[in-house]
Structure 1
Amino acid sequence: MLAVEKSLRALLVQGTQDGTLGPGSKLPTERDLVEQLSAPRSAIRRALDVLERDGVVIRHVGRGTFLTEAGLPPADGAPPDTSPAEIMQVRLLLEPPVAELAARVATQADLDRIAACLGGGEGSESFEDFEAWDGRLHRAIALAVHNGLLISMFDVMNTARSLPVWGSLKRRTSSPDRRRRYHDEHTAIVEALRDRDPLGARDSMRRHLQNVSDNLLGRH
């Protein structure tokens, strides 16, 4: 993550925790952010581009930049002893119906953001880059349902993916061929979303997550 983007995210988290920022709150101007973060204006704009793509903020020409409900951090993270098996159980329960709903209600902007994440994953050459785009893709699909409570639940689940046990297992079971297969599965999900095919999106997501689970946990 770029240093300016990380600093900006930290600023937003601090604002939501101290009560100065909430859903729909207007962010400081670019000029103010330049002063607060001691960063060039071009870097601030790039960081805002990333936050907008991730659904954390929304920008309106002539009005400013505003925090979305999805930009609020979850109240609590996943317990530190959460196992990979537990993570995959919850993902299999939650994400297929989320994809089904996203196929019904996603806007074109949502679909464009999802497609950008898919493209980022396709162009990734390292494990770290692919994992980052993988997480963004799945979160972009969840954002497309436009439900703040659901996003909070999703983010609690997603914090488990940052636990050391998850990262080490993913790294051990990762390979270029497997990442290509995962990208093909992601593509099938995104195509179903574009086609407004709820059942296709649900089933494609379920197949993908089942494959991830089998690969991680050694079930074939």
Structure 2
Amino acid sequence: MQTVEQSLRALLAEGAQDGRFGPGSKLPTERALVEQLAAPRSAIRRALETLERDGVVIRHVGRGTFLTEAAVQQVDGAPADTSPAEIMQVRLLLEPGVAALAARVATQADLDRIGECLAGGGASEDFEGFESWDARLHRAIAKAAHNGLLMNMFDVLNTARALPVWGTLKRRTSSPERRRCYHEEHTAIVEALCDRDPEAAAAGMRRHLEHVSDNLLGRH
């Protein structure tokens, strides 16, 4: 049986993989962690103290508990020196094909989950909220392909998106206008998935990622 500390570490690792937690992300409150992990508050506090000593989190009185850059680098997956250009090269190779496969084999439950992520991103008014839903949307599409090996590859890719260099660049190049544009592109991808159109799903994903790459890396 996992200890509370192990359960909390697993929660953070999963969050780093699916995009909920990156460097500087605020953790749920102690009360929320009590509910999520079904553990006493005293055990949650002890686990957080241990994680703070290990450099995984940093706590600010009155502000909350935040994930450190070191925590993300401890997650198995992409090398810590992976560049944004490398990340985008792999995404462009992998994700259009993933979208095409998902269009063929996604269940209605998969499409419902993808739709929830799309709606969450559309309702997000700040950078952190949109980025979190963006990562969840892309991961939900990958899960809808129902291929375990492919999912493992995608999760390695997603750990790269949690590296500090990626987050810093995304924040610097983000704007409300770009987020609205990305949401429109996401909408086109999801519509193609719901239409069971592999070619349109792949093409939509490729256009979206090329646009992201242009904005991040300054290519035209």
Task: Give the whole-Å Cα distance in 2 for the aligned partners of 1:102 and 1:187.
Answer: 15
Q: TM-score by structure 2 length?
A: 0.69
Output aligned runs, 1:78-97, within 5 Å. 78-97=78-97
Name the structure 2 match of 1:38. Answer: 40
Name the structure 1 match of 2:204. Answer: 204
CA RMSD of aligned residues (A): 2.5
Task: Give the whole-Å Cα distance in 1 for the aligned partners of 2:12 and 2:165.
Answer: 28
Q: Which runs of 4+ in 1 moved over 6 A?
A: 11-14
Q: CA deviation at 1:77?
A: 1.1
Q: CA deviation at 1:154?
A: 0.2
Q: CA deviation at 1:38?
A: 2.3
- DSSP 3-state at the match of 2:80: coil
Output aligned runs, 1:82-121, within 5 Å. 82-121=82-121
Task: Give the whole-Å Cα distance in 2 for the aligned partners of 1:192 and 1:38.
Answer: 45
Task: Give the whole-Å Cα distance in 1 for the aligned partners of 2:36 and 2:160.
Answer: 33
Give CA-to-partner distance per residue, 1:3-35, whole Å, 9 cap, x none. x9x956726979xxxxxxxxxxxxxxxxxx888
Aligned length: 163
Task: Give the whole-Å Cα distance in 2 for the aligned partners of 1:135 and 1:169.
Answer: 15
User: Which protein, 1 or 2, shows the higher relative CO under an 8 Å CA cutoff with sep ≥ 6?
Assistant: 2
Structure 2 stretches lacking a partner, 5+ long: 15-34, 42-74
Q: CA deviation at 1:148?
A: 1.1
Identity of aligned residues (%): 75
Q: TM-score by structure 1 length?
A: 0.69
Give CA-to-partner distance per residue, 1:100-148, whole Å, 9 cap, x none. 0000000000000000000000000110000000000000000001111
Task: Give the whole-Å Cα distance in 2 for the aligned partners of 1:35 and 1:133.
Answer: 22
Q: CA deviation at 1:207?
A: 0.2
Name the structure 2 match of 1:185. Answer: 185
Q: CA deviation at 1:203?
A: 0.1
